[in-house]
Amino acid sequence: MSHDINELRSEIDKIDLGLLDLIEQRMAVSRKIGICKREMGKDILDTSREADKLASLQANAGFESREYIDDIYRTIFEVSRDHQKKPCFGLLGRTLGHSYSPQIHSLFTSDYSYTLIEREPEELDELFASRIYGGFNVTIPYKKEAFARCDVTDGASTETGSVNTVVFGEDGKIYGYNTDYYGFMYMLRSSGIDPSGKKCLILGTGGAACAVLYGLKTMNAGDIKSCDLETEINYSNVYDICKDAQIIVNCTPVGMYPKVDGCVIDLDKFSCLEAVADVVYNPSRTKLLQEASKRGLKTAGGLSMLVAQAYKSSRFFVGDNEGAEMIDEAAEEAIAGVVRKLESQMRNITIIGMPGCGKSMLARRLAARTGRPLVDLDAAYTEKIGETPAETIKAKGEEAFRLNETEVAKEYLVKSGMIISCGGGIVTQPRNDFYLKCNSNVIYLDRPLEMLASKDRPLTQANGVEKLYEQRHARYEELADIRISLDRFESKTDFFNEAVKIINKGGVSL
């Protein structure tokens, strides 16, 4: 045969992944054009523009595709118009950067589009008066500003003085809601944390803390205290005044990406502590939560709060106020499904295991299958340090290599959505544990010792594979979320397909 059909199909798969990225980008730009048309009072359909565009595309198309361009782009224009016609909601803030909110709302409903709305304080009056949007979620620093501009507010908003969901009603009134408190209550319930009658400590006094306070009261918490830098209870006296706290909730940005090393409080000084919650959702396992897990405490991370509050907001956006107020078991399962999907997407897939076990090969194939960025930490080490790990070990010793390795590893492991292959000995340094776990699903690739390669691996050659395995195996097991234990296969493809099954079974969607 002149061509290998599997290679050709692999080439098509790569092209399709690229097309999906381009289609996503095009639809995003189309949504923005729709917003501009609303602002300018223009119709969505522009027949002359579409005709000129089609003529230009056909003139520039290659010979393989030219005869299909008309059909392809008429379909693209149609779906683009449909996208522009949808009611548009969004997230209002001053500086937003990246946000998962558009994706979260799209997973709950296709009834509206969702965009990011960045405004300076002096632009808020114009925004609220324009009614270009059907409404929006509100993040810092505008939750209290939004509250002041609403004609009607719900009980949670009135109690907290904070609105995170705005809806422009058909009656001309501006309605304000606070859904953050519900998100927080869902976060606790889904993690098996019951604050009823418990002594609770809230760290921080900002908008999130107000919603958390309201949520704790709604869940019948016992004594609730708040701590901040300059409040009556602060970080110099909190260990004396609140030493009997049973539940701690972090509402500060300490520990948030990219400054992930921060931990706002010393958990060892709370002898009655049962659970710790953190509203930070990136990284998914903050240092505070990992410290709590080490002590056997229940933990809850902020992603479930983000998703749950978005669900409640989405019901208000589509006019389903009853569904927003009476969230049933099916709705909460839908919330849990979105949390799982996002968590799987946001976390890195980080592969650990013995030197020569096939980590790099597995990582390359996973990256090709998923379209995720690929990082081989040994290659990243060479690029950053200017020499290979083997060269550092031979010239300067293992300790120098391990210090460098940590600096390289933490640069990548704190990021999101990547495929990362680690050096075999990364688990030998406990300081790496936090970085491995903070934003990754850690996969331990366990292969028979006789299959491990040792070429260009000085530690394996010096110590012997059996000794290294004895030293490291328990650490691999300790850190792994998923273990892949596979023997020989006829081909790398068969091996990869079996590994994918195990990873999917472990709750990571590929």
Q: Where a domain ends, among 268, 284, 300?
A: 300
The CATH number for 50's domain is: 1.20.59.10
Let me know whether 31 and 173 are in one domain: no
- Distance between CA atoms of residues 390 and 456, nearest Å: 7
Give a yes or no: residue 74 inside a domain: yes
Q: What residue ranges in 107-146 does DSSP mark as E strands?
A: 113-118, 135-138
Residues 24, 113 contacting (CB under 8 angstroms)? no
Q: Where a domain ends, among 85, 117, 141?
A: 85
Query: In the Cβ-directed half-sphere of 274, how many Cα atoms lie within 13 Å?
Result: 15
Give a yes or no: residue 149 inside a domain: yes
The CA-atom distances, in angstroms, between 377 and each of 99, 250, 447 are 27, 32, 20
Let me know whether 423 and 470 are in one domain: yes
The CATH number for 234's domain is: 3.40.50.720
The CA-atom distances, in angstroms, between 401 and each of 351, 389, 392, 473 are 20, 7, 6, 21
Full-prediction pTM beyond 0.75? yes
The per-residue pLDDT string of the chain (510 residues; one tens digit each, 9 = 90 and over) reads 677 888 899 889 989 989 999 999 999 999 999 988 888 888 998 999 999 999 999 999 999 999 999 999 999 999 999 999 999 999 999 999 888 999 999 999 999 999 999 999 999 999 999 999 999 999 989 999 999 999 999 999 999 999 999 999 999 999 999 999 999 999 999 999 999 999 999 999 988 999 999 999 999 999 999 999 999 999 999 999 999 999 999 999 999 999 999 999 999 999 999 999 999 999 999 999 999 999 999 999 999 999 999 999 999 999 999 999 989 999 999 999 999 999 999 999 999 999 889 999 999 999 999 989 999 999 999 999 999 999 999 999 999 999 999 999 999 999 999 999 999 999 999 999 999 999 999 999 998 887 775 555 554 544 578 888 999 999 999 999 999 998 877 788 899 999 999 999 998 988
Give a yes or no: residue 510 inside a domain: no
The CATH number for 165's domain is: 3.40.50.10860
How many folded domains does the chain comprise?
4
Let me know whether 412 and 450 are in one domain: yes
Let me know whether 116 and 173 are in one domain: yes
Residues 352, 476 contacting (CB under 8 angstroms)? yes
Give a yes or no: residue 222 inside a domain: yes
pLDDT at 506: 92
Let me know whether 282 and 155 are in one domain: no
Domain range holding 98? 88-181+308-343
Residues 434, 290 contacting (CB under 8 angstroms)? yes
Question: Which helix or strand (DSSP H or E) is residue 56 part of?
Answer: helix 47-60
H helices present in 255-397, as ranges: 287-294, 303-317, 321-325, 329-346, 359-370, 377-385, 389-396
Let me know whether 79 and 172 are in one domain: no
Question: Which helix or strand (DSSP H or E) is residue 298 part of?
Answer: strand 298-300
What are the respective helix, strand and coil percentages of the chain, to the nearest 5?
Answer: 55, 15, 35
Identity at 173, one-letter amino acid code: K
Residues 266, 240 contacting (CB under 8 angstroms)? no
Pairing between strand 374-376 and 200-203?
unpaired
Let me know whether 362 and 497 are in one domain: yes
Q: Which residues contact 296 (CB under 8 A, 6 or more apart)?
A: none
Q: What residue ranges in 214-274 does DSSP mark as E strands?
A: 224-227, 247-250
Residues 170, 123 contacting (CB under 8 angstroms)? no
Classify burial at 393, counting beta carbons within 10 Å of its beta carbon; exposed 0-12, middle 13-18, buried 19 or more.
buried
Identity at 144, one-letter amino acid code: K
Identity at 447, one-letter amino acid code: R
Let me know whether 226 and 110 are in one domain: no
Beta bridge partners of 350: 420, 442
Residue 196 DSSP one-character state = B
Is 341 known to be catalytic?
no
| Cis peptide bond N-terminal to 141, omega within 30 | yes
Residue where the block lists tokens 């590994």: 499
Query: In the Cβ-directed half-sphere of 207, how many Cα atoms lie within 13 Å?
Result: 18
pLDDT at 490: 76
Give a yes or no: residue 264 inside a domain: yes
Residue where the block lists tokens 């930490």: 377
Residues 187, 308 contacting (CB under 8 angstroms)? yes
Let me know whether 80 and 42 are in one domain: yes
The CA-atom distances, in angstroms, between 51 and each of 27, 45, 47, 54, 57 are 19, 11, 6, 5, 10
The CATH number for 454's domain is: 3.40.50.300
Give a yes or no: residue 15 inside a domain: yes
Q: Where a domain ends, among 39, 70, 85?
A: 85
Pairing between strand 374-376 and 298-300?
unpaired
H helices present in 131-248, as ranges: 143-149, 155-160, 180-190, 207-218, 238-241
Let me know whether 214 and 243 are in one domain: yes
Give a yes or no: residue 187 inside a domain: no
- Distance between CA atoms of residues 426 and 476, nearest Å: 10
Structure tokens at 84: 């522009």
Residue 344 DSSP one-character state = H
Q: What residue ranges in 185-274 does DSSP mark as E strands?
A: 200-203, 224-227, 247-250
Let me know whether 479 and 352 are in one domain: yes
Q: Which of 271, 447, 260, 264 is nearest to 351 (CA)?
A: 447
Let me know whether 392 and 335 are in one domain: no
Residues 165, 313 contacting (CB under 8 angstroms)? yes
Catalytic choice (37, 42, 86, 143): 143
- Distance between CA atoms of residues 140 and 180, nearest Å: 12
Give a yes or no: residue 186 inside a domain: no
